[in-house]
Amino acid sequence: LGSNFVSWPNACEKATSALALQRLCGIPGVIGAIDGCHIRVQKLPVRGVHYMNRKSFFSVLLQGIVDDRGRLLDICAGPPGREHDARMLRASPFFESWQEKMAAYSLLG
């Protein structure tokens, strides 16, 4: 998707999002939301069973982070569907630098 559509906010944008989300949900310091979803795939010939998710279909996971306006801040895809969202988060490029990216802010998710 590239930096034209997916980019991490600067300090000013984080502050703006935090104010907007505080007005919306009453929780201070939140700059966005994070969630994962399953993208349906065909069973793979190698290790296909790893892609069977808890909903009984084959999938890969997609994790996204959005701001107060629904703009993509970060996206990660690819782990097998049987993996848990928390495990995907810990393995994502975002998690490697989350303290630097988040500073004093939080995500809902």
Divide the 109 residues of the chain into consecutive groups of 10 and give the mean pLDDT of each group.
Answer: 82 97 96 96 91 96 96 93 92 92 94
Q: For residue 29, what are the contacts with CB-CB under 8 A and spacing of at least 6?
A: 18, 22, 104, 105, 106
What's the first-to-final CA gap in the chain, in angstroms?
Answer: 22
Structure confidence at residue 44 (pLDDT) = 87
Please state the φ and ψ torsions of residue 86, each to the nearest 5 degrees: -65, -40
Cα(67)–Cα(21) distance, integer angstroms: 9
Structure confidence at residue 4 (pLDDT) = 75
The number of folded domains in the chain is 1
Query: Which range of residues forms the domain containing residue 69?
Result: 2-108
Structure confidence at residue 2 (pLDDT) = 66
